[in-house]
Amino acid sequence: MTVAAALDQIRAIVGANGILTEPGDMAPYLAEWRGRFKGSSPAVVRPASTEEVAAVVRVCAEAGIPIVPQGGNTSLVGGSIPYEEGREIVLSLSRMNRIRDIDPLNYTMTVDAGVVLTTIQGAAADVDRLFPLSLGAEGTAQIGGLISTNAGGINVLRYGNARELVLGLEVVLPDGRVWDGLRRLRKNNTGYDLKNLFAGAEGTLGIITGAVLKLFPRPRQSETAFVAVPSPAAAVELLARLREATGDAVSAFELMSRRCLEFAIRHVGGSFDPLSEPSPWYVLTELTSGTRSDAFREAVETALGEAFEAELATDAVIAQSETQAKQLWFLREAIVEAQKHEGGSIKNDVSVPVSRVAEFIERAQAAVEAACPGIRPTPFGHVGDGNIHFNLSQPEGADTAAYLARWDEICHVVNEVIFALDGSISAEHGIGRFKKDEMPVIKGPVEFDLLRAVKAALDPKGLMNPGKMLP
């Protein structure tokens, strides 16, 4: 079957409104929002139901047309963008945006893959439940993509990654059959864990079209603190103490360096220094409790007081209102924004065991400074998960293009430290196009063979998001 003939069949399945072939219409689906990854495609297909997805995939399987599944297209590693050759169709899930069912008593919600994360958060809140996944792109990112990339975000410490928030999946397989794994069960020991195979597979094994999500009780009380700490080591120790002292009530624990804060104050309106004296490092932490009580806030205050005595913290402010808490969280977002205004920034999304975070930052800073004198590291991130966004602003006054041309070289310097500390070079952003060529190296021959065996078993024709995750 020719591509043109296949597109005719697909048009018959999804209707004229469900297929885009004009370059102008397709453009938003073919480029990453930062412009780092671009591709081309004969068509962007937008099915409205699982049955339509399945029918489209059957046509593609017959015609040998590869498919790039796409959600909100917020990937930072080019996972949702086709290659330049123009062989792949883009299959967008955005028209599948229905909440199928909410079961508050079972603490579950069943949704189409194309529902945007904030919509899910809101629907859970409407029935007095919490869906805890939360991250910067939540107003655009769709749940199918979030599950396919095993998204992280700020609440992983308490609630886990996307994988851990899913009870069941519906997946259109590479041959167009539908796997109905939409189970709403907490316990089900009958066979291999297919759910976790498709979750995090970056669309390379099939297309997630629906999911059963876990809900939780909504917290009744939240305490947000901005804490000056002398070092990353002190931050890690503080985290362990807070977890112990509050009975694992820490839902977020974000580390940031003084430079991060200074960049924010310099460039992003509304940023401020919450404390009177500068500190080399800060922690922004949120602790939540299911019950309202003065005792909870007292426990937080006592734990911080003990941290002062142990010289793990030098100053702190606890938000006195929800508004003040939001101002503190604004700083966390401003850090990301601010880095754009300090010239080129080379980004690393890495993780190490939590107990090695301090050693990682120290060694990685020394290594990149040796490789590029004057480089300005701005590490920040989710210390509670060992996940540091080890971003590196260019030396002051340096040529931006020349600096960014050293991206691979400098990432390599960071990665060497990561390997030495048994860490991961992609903690939450995934592999996509961006890091696929690293896979044989970081996995080693045994694990790489296992990954290829799984891919070959489930997608023998190699039509699902080819050239993503695996080279």
Stretch that binds its own copies, among 41-49, 88-96, 324-332, 350-358 (CB under 8 A): 350-358
State the nearest-atom distance from the C-beta of 265 to its own copies, in Å: 29
Output the smallest distance, CB 457 to its own copies, in A.
Answer: 3
The CA distance from 334 to 264, in Å, is 6
Nearer to its own copies, 84 or 193 (CB): 193
Give the angle subtended at the CA of 195 by the CAs of 190 and 201, to the nearest 5°.
145
Q: Report the alpha-carbon distance of residue 119 to residue 23 in Å, rounded.
A: 30
Amino acid at 131: F
Tell the smallest beta-carbon distance from residue 269 to its own copies (Å): 32
- Separation CA 284–CA 296 (nearest Å): 18
Give residues 49-108 in contact with its own copies (rule: CB under 8 A): 103-108
Q: Which two tokens stand for residue 352?
A: 């190490």
Q: Name the helix (H) or strand (E) containing 358.
A: helix 357-371
Please, which residue, 5 or 295, has the CB nearer to its own copies? 295
Positive or negative, the CA dihedral 264, 268, 273, 278 is positive
- Options 288, 348, 378, 391; binder of its own copies; rule CB under 8 A: 288
Single out the residue of 47, 29, 132, 32 nearest to residue 90, CA to CA: 29
Question: Mask of contacts with its own copies, 105-134, x by CB under 8 A?
Answer: xxxx-------------------x------
Residue 243 DSSP SS3: helix
Residue closer to its own copies by CB (options 22, 422) is 422
Q: For residues 8 and 416, which CB has a smaller minimum distance to its own copies in the complex?
A: 416
Compute the distance between CA of residue 173 and CA of residue 455 in angstroms, rounded to an integer: 12
**Does 385 participate in binding its own copies (rule CB under 8 A)?**
yes
Find the shortest distance in angstroms from Cβ 199 to its own copies: 7
Minimum distance from residue 189 beta carbon to its own copies (Å): 5
Q: Applying CB under 8 A, which of residues 366, 402, 420, 456 lies at the interface with its own copies?
A: 456
Out of 20, 165, 236, 316, the residue judged to bind its own copies by CB under 8 A: 236
* Choice from 370, 405, 420, 450 touching its own copies (CB under 8 A): 450
100 φ, ψ to 5°? -80, -35
Choose one: 62-70, 254-262, 321-329, 442-450; the region binding its own copies (CB under 8 A). 442-450
Residue 338 in contact with its own copies, rule: CB under 8 A: no
- Tell me the number of residues near its own copies by CB under 8 A: 102
Least distance in Å: CB of 393 to its own copies?
24
Largest Cα–Cα distance in the chain? 74
CA dihedral 419, 357, 339, 348 (to 10 degrees): 20
Q: How far is the CB of 6 from its own copies (least distance, A)?
A: 24
47 or 219, CB closer to its own copies?
219
Q: Residues 455, 458, 461, 463: is their CA dihedral positive or negative?
A: negative
Closer CB to its own copies, 113 or 236, in the complex: 236
Show contacts with its own copies in window 239-258 (CB under 8 A). Answer: 240, 243-249
Of the listed pieces 8-16, 18-26, 286-294, 361-369, which binds its own copies according to CB under 8 A?
286-294
420 counts as binding its own copies under rule CB under 8 A: no
- Among positions 356-375, residues that touch its own copies (CB under 8 A) are 356
Which residue lies nearer to its own copies by CB, 36 or 186? Answer: 186
In the complex, least distance from residue 16 CB atom to its own copies, rounded to whole angstroms: 31
In the chain, the amino acid numbered 395 is: P
The three-state DSSP-derived secondary structure of 150-185 is CCCCCCHHHHCCHHHHEEEEEEECCCCCEEEECCCC
Q: How far is the CB of 284 from its own copies (least distance, A)?
A: 18
Token pair of 40 as six digits: 């081309």
- Torsion, CA 184, CA 185, CA 188, CA 194, rounded to 10: 30
| Rounded least distance, CB 217 to its own copies, Å | 5
- Any idea which residue has 């048009």 for tokens? 11
CB of 226 to its own copies, least distance (A): 22
Q: Segment 152-211, which members bind its own copies (CB under 8 A)?
A: 152, 156-157, 160-161, 163-164, 173, 177-181, 183-194, 196-197, 199-201, 205
Q: Between residues 131 and 263, which has the closer beta carbon with respect to its own copies? A: 131
With CA atoms as reference, report the closest residue to 378 among 269, 228, 258, 271. 258
Coil vs helix vs strand at 355: helix
Give least dist CB 177 to its own copies, A.
5
H/E stretch holding 414: helix 407-420
Among 149, 257, 365, 393, indicate the residue that binds its own copies (CB under 8 A).
149
Q: Tell how strand 99-103 and strand 108-112 pair up.
A: antiparallel
Spatial CB neighbours of 79, under 8 Å, sequence gap ≥ 6: 149, 202, 203, 430, 431, 432, 433, 465, 468, 469
Q: How many Cβ atoms from other residues are within 10 Å of residue 263's Cβ?
A: 26
Classified as helix, coil or strand, 100 is: strand
Nearer to its own copies, 106 or 118 (CB): 106
